[in-house]
Chains A and B, each alone.
Chain A
Amino acid sequence: MDRRTFLKSGIGFSALTGAKITGVNMLAQYYATANQSGPVPYDLVAIKGGEPDVMFTKGMEALGGLGKYVKKGQKVVVKPNIGWDVGPERAGNTNPKLIEEIVKQCYTAGAKEVVVFDNTCDNWVRSYKNSGIETAVKNAGGKIVPGNTEGYYHPVSVQGAKNLTNAKVHELILESDVFINVPILKSHGSTKLTMSMKNMMGVVWDRREWHKNDLHQCIADFAAYRKPDLNIMDAYYVMKRNGPRGVSEEDVVTMKSLLISSDMVTIDAAGAKLFGIDPADVRYIQIAEEQKVGRAKLDQLNIKRISL
């Protein structure tokens, strides 16, 4: 917990300084690369024009390397979106190339163990396999574990929640030292967009509860429960309509973009803009901001933009 609180204060620091005085920002960046545990220089890094793995590497370089988030001997959980039994070109699941690179770099940073899972919508065996993520994780030396077993989910209470006061959360989220959330940006029939906060629905057991009790409110409620240490939003292939499952490849555009932030509200606001929707029109972003889960006002944040 200490480490997380520390990281958050780091984000705060860089936001306070970096947004206004570029000199201080540059200093912070220098400090960050020089000292592994220094403050994070940017609130958001946006990369475009490269392959998923390259964009990730460039983005993390700007943030001072993955070593700032993953320390030697730590257990890392990586949570992609593997919701559907569709291939990477359908953009229903996080890009497997990106996942492979993340897992690889976690080990390079000294992680003891990197574990990947999702509580899928379609049959998990087929989704893991056909998304290409199972192979990607194994190639990188990581471990992919099933998310279909209720026994792995433990009841927790969500502090400060309006509607979703209780949930059953996967033990990997509860146990791991580092939590890396890797959503994909895509359209969604009822919430307009699914991004990092919505991706958290795959770490709980009962999604129907969320649907029953004001979906937007539940998404925002749970976003405050265990904030990921890092959110990496895949926008290489983007499903522009018929989401979240999509009907065919016709629904997909190649956007070749990637967003990285420690703040789910920030990255979701940026994702919405990238998609072409005003974040103010996505109710769960609004609620999350109101409930002070994170910051959605992008013009007040320190953003690093990288074109490859």
Chain B
Amino acid sequence: MVTLRTVRITVASISFILITAIFLDITNRIPPAWSSAVVSLQFAPAVIKTISSLGIALAAVIFVSILTLLYGRVYCSQLCPLGTLQDIIIWIRKKKFKHRKFPYHPANYRFLYAVTALSIVSAIFGSAALLDLLEPFSNYGRILSTIVRPPIIIVNNALAIFITSTNSLGIAEIPLFGLDLWNVVLALFFLSVIIGLTVWRGRLFCNLLCPVGGVLSLLSRISLFKITIKHDACIDCGLCERVCRAQCIDSEKNTVDFAACVGCFDCIGSCPTDGMGYTFRRRSEVLQKEDTNRRTVLLSLSSAVLASTGLQNIADTTKTSSGYVDAKKKPVVPPGGRGQEHFESYCTACTLCVTACPTHVLQPSFLEYGFAGILQPKMDYNVSYCNFDCTICGEVCPTGAIQRILQQDKKYVQLGKVTFVKEDCIVEIKKKDCGACSEHCPTKAVKMVPYENKLTIPQIENEYCVGCGACEHACPTTPRKAIYVTPNLVHQTAKKREEKRLEQQAATPQEFPF
């Protein structure tokens, strides 16, 4: 018989495996469109994407909202990868310590809603830091990309070298970057907190710290279907409380605090007398007992604030460069990121773009964007450079921090401008030809022009520069690059190079010139 629990486990497994797979796809074989589809239902990213891009993400927000308004927080048990991660921890704990359960414990809504409101409000007023640090999908992404992925890459690389030297199976080495100490420390810290909280009190994170849990908890208060205890059928055995992972069933009082329920449905299956109902109810008794005023205020505040976010941020990004920072100290924002303000406001640092970037130029940062942009990815031209024809980061970004742009448009998005320091250039220092920068330049914004003694030296035409960093990456001078990109605070548009098509008629020689 298909029980609600079976459905939950099936959907959760599929969702969890798919999300895990896209973050651990070290060879980037999963098409970006699939990745994008897999993460499209993630609630916080979808809300942000709706605000940042006003697109199809709205459908995801509506879908999850309606789902919650109908059935409660099933999202937390079926679609949230961090929720499933906690369920796995709970499952392991159950195997180890069979006798220990999570007895009823009233949820600290005051704290949960305060954290939720603070995350949302601070995100609106400039710093997404708190949201980034608590948002479940992004945290799960960072755990995978900074803790799980590197060891897989190490094993792959060991295999690549071993197998290819005997007989190639087509396994290639994958550059291992992004092992930023602080990123690893933070991800490990978060994982430890999650493990600790889960082992201690089940889904405590979801009912104490999670901003998505906070919002969905509010919605679930008015959901149509609710889990309740049928007083006529209940034999007071307490089994439902024993299996509850959210500590929301009080078997003494025979109440279910549905706002804290994550919808695992274990209680329904556990009841020996069919005493757990999952039925259409207008208002739960629990809700009536509590003080609703405070919550109502918070709810309306949050939604008002949520609604205003879009307008405010969109208005901001249309402004030209605010020019308040020393440009050289700021990182380069990926193409589609539109500029620092846009990118910083919408990125939750899930690092999906970092794992999807084929050249690995997108790397996690720590505080390079400042505390407000903690952990948000940056273009690292020491590692690589942005592929001229690639638009993958924008295709996978679940929040719209990196906007989806067409390939033909991307070729003219100027992330920054290039500066050439002649005094540091090989041609000037050694009086020998080099030209590595110009070789790599996809638009010939860096051109080699005649220089003394038949040499050629780079010349910059910044109107054609897209700021991809190819020149900077290729430049062989150490420790200072003789050519480097300074980011545009707001991305600009590069000029298209118009050159006449070469004469084709006489191309094939009449006679060989030798």
Contact = CB atoms under 8 A, between A and B. Distances in A.
B437 to A, nearest CB: 9
A3 interface: no
Contacts of A26: none
Given A151-B161, A190-B448, A214-B430, A250 B435 contact: no
Given A152-B164, A254-B507, A126 B387 contact: yes
B479 interface: no
Contacts of B441: 245
Given A189-B448, A211-B426, A85 B387 contact: yes
A256 interface: yes
Contact of B387 (A123, A149, A247, A254): A123
Nearest to A206: B476
B357 to A, nearest CB: 10
B499 A251 contact: yes
Nearest to B442: A245
B236 interface: no
Interface in A26-49: 46, 48-49
A266 to B, nearest CB: 10
B161 A214 contact: no
B439 A190 contact: yes
Contacts of A112: none
Given A123-B358, A247-B444, A254 B508 contact: yes
B442 A211 contact: no
Interface in B376-403: 384, 387-390
A190 B434 contact: yes
B97 interface: no
B192 interface: no
A57 interface: no
Interface in B412-458: 426, 430, 432-436, 438-444, 447-448, 456
Interface stretch (A61-69, A98-106, A140-148, A223-231): A140-148
B422 to A, nearest CB: 15
- The residue in B175, B440, B509 that gathers the most chain A C-beta atoms within 10 A of its C-beta is B509
Given A245-B441, A270-B514, A254 B504 contact: yes
A189 B435 contact: yes
A83 B175 CA distance: 18
Nearest to B357: A123
Contacts of B323: none
Contacts of A150: 173
Given A189-B438, A208-B476, A149 B512 contact: no
A115 B507 CA distance: 32
B329 interface: no
Nearest to B165: A171
A214 to B, nearest CB: 4
B500 A250 contact: yes
Contact of B173 (A149, A216, A256): A149
Contacts of B175: 148
B232 interface: no
A189 B456 contact: yes
Interface string A109-153: 000000100000111111000100000000000010110111110
Top 4 A-B residue pairs of the complex, sorted by shortest distance between their CB atoms = A190-B435, A149-B173, A146-B172, A151-B161
